[in-house]
Amino acid sequence: MKKLILIICIFWCKILALAQNIDANNPVFVLPIEYQIDTVSAEFGIKFKTEDEKKNFKNLRNFLSEKEGLLRRLRSASDYLHRDNPSLLNSYLGITDNLRALIESDSVRSKSRNDSILVDISRVTNGFRLDWYPFDEFKQLNKRVVYLSIAQIKQKIDDINMFSDDVKNNIKKAGIVDANIRVVEQDIDDCRKQIDTTLAPEYKQQEFRTTISLYFTALIALVLLMFFFVINYNAEKELSKHLLSDNGLQFVTLFVLIIAVVLFGILNILQSSELAAILAGISGYILGRGNAQRST
């Protein structure tokens, strides 16, 4: 029983390894089947019909991520499929024509299936690469002229025809994949435009926040500069002494604090209730000190 389980596990591991190797060598296998058999329709307009759906940033980002991943797979599959092109197909069809002409010639027609004839591979293939199927076996032997039986030649013709059919299928499939690449690119472009449209108010608000922050920073800097300028200009006068007293420093501090609080409110760092409570506290503090000084 243990040996049987072990054999099953080894067999299953080999199947998984083989599947991973196929996927790695042929990216077409990882494509959804609908993208291989026909041109699909754009999906963005179908999935995002209403304004609420178009403003759902999370769904837009998920859709964009999904389509970008699909586009990478489609391009990889397209590169793989375009290795089989009409030029390659014509080369193989030319080889089959040469092989048929060879076995149908007057000197060969009368021979039996098991009779061998001398075949100049370079001439049959029209100088085609010998390291490619179906004559790659002779490259290792470093032979360009070999003896082949009539049966072997006919088998190679059948093999080339099957291979040519695969090439034709790949050429057709490459056209479908290329068309679907354009469809997916359009979906991605539409989605990115919608994301930009959705985020446009946020961009404008962020720009406003940046601008108002700079203005308020400049205002605070101006207040402080004017404060120290007045003190320095009136260094020998009574005014500078008042400004450097507790009352003068409290005035400047409160002024800067109020500017900062208002800025925090504009930037939504502080909510309306928090902003009202802080301003009310500052106002109460100022009025309370004024009444206390008058009473004394």
List the structure tokens of 274.
Answer: 């928090």
Mean pLDDT for the stretch of residues 175-196: 92
DSSP-H helix ranges across 26-149: 34-37, 44-47, 51-54, 57-81, 86-103, 106-109, 121-124, 136-141
| Lowest-pLDDT choice from 68-82, 86-100, 252-266 | 252-266
Q: Is residue 116 part of a domain?
A: yes
CA–CA gap between residue 248 and residue 223 (Å, rounded): 13
Nearest alpha carbon to residue 67 among 174, 195, 172: 195
Mean pLDDT for the stretch of residues 207-230: 78
Domain count, the chain: 3
CA–CA gap between residue 95 and residue 88 (Å, rounded): 11
CA–CA gap between residue 30 and residue 34 (Å, rounded): 12
- The reply to whether 49 and 22 lie within a common domain is yes
Q: Is residue 113 part of a domain?
A: yes
- The reply to whether 62 and 47 lie within a common domain is yes
| Residue matched to tokens 């946020």 | 202
Quick check: bond before 201 cis, omega within 30? Answer: no
Q: Is residue 97 part of a domain?
A: no
Residues 6+ apart with CB under 8 A from 32: 70
Evaluate if residue 228 carries a pLDDT over 70: yes
- The reply to whether 190 and 210 lie within a common domain is no
Beta-bridge mates of residue 120: 145
> What pLDDT score does 44 carry?
92
- The distance from CA 72 to its chain's CA centroid, rounded to whole angstroms, is 7
> What pLDDT score does 135 carry?
65
Domain ranges, residue 242: 202-295
- The reply to whether 135 and 261 lie within a common domain is no
CA–CA gap between residue 133 and residue 155 (Å, rounded): 13
User: What's the sign of the alpha-carbon dihedral 282, 285, 291, 296?
Assistant: negative
> What pLDDT score does 119 carry?
81
Q: How many CB atoms lie under 10 A from the CB of residue 278?
A: 18
Evaluate if residue 145 carries a pLDDT over 90: no
Check: CB of residue 85 under 8 Å from CB of residue 168.
Answer: no
Q: Is residue 218 part of a domain?
A: yes
Mean pLDDT for the stretch of residues 227-250: 66
- The reply to whether 241 and 119 lie within a common domain is no
Q: Is residue 4 part of a domain?
A: no
| Lowest-pLDDT choice from 10-14, 167-171, 212-216, 252-256 | 10-14
> What pLDDT score does 238 carry?
65
CA–CA gap between residue 113 and residue 202 (Å, rounded): 80
CA–CA gap between residue 49 and residue 196 (Å, rounded): 17
Q: What is the mean pLDDT of the chain?
A: 77
> What pLDDT score does 263 carry?
75
Evaluate if residue 65 carries a pLDDT over 60: yes
- The reply to whether 20 and 60 lie within a common domain is yes
Q: Which of 120, 148, 166 is the last residue of a domain?
A: 166
pLDDT band at 240 (very low <50, low <70, confident <90, very high): low
Q: Which residue would you say has higher pLDDT here, 184 or 220? A: 184
Q: Is residue 281 part of a domain?
A: yes
- The reply to whether 160 and 179 lie within a common domain is no
Q: How many CB atoms lie under 10 A from the CB of residue 149?
A: 15
Q: Is residue 289 part of a domain?
A: yes
pLDDT band at 254 (very low <50, low <70, confident <90, very high): confident
- The reply to whether 64 and 36 lie within a common domain is yes
Nearest alpha carbon to residue 36 among 214, 193, 213, 178: 178
Residue 170, judged by CB atoms within 10 A of its CB (0-12, 13-18, 19+), counts as: buried
Beta-bridge mates of residue 148: 117
Tell me: the pLDDT tens digits for 29-54? Answer: 677 888 888 889 999 999 898 888 88
CA–CA gap between residue 159 and residue 87 (Å, rounded): 18
Evaluate if residue 136 carries a pLDDT over 70: no
pLDDT band at 203 (very low <50, low <70, confident <90, very high): low
- The reply to whether 76 and 173 lie within a common domain is yes
- The reply to whether 276 and 261 lie within a common domain is yes
Percent of the chain with pLDDT over 70: 72
- The reply to whether 232 and 271 lie within a common domain is yes
> What pLDDT score does 18 carry?
42
CA–CA gap between residue 37 and residue 172 (Å, rounded): 9
- The reply to whether 136 and 247 lie within a common domain is no
Q: Is residue 276 part of a domain?
A: yes
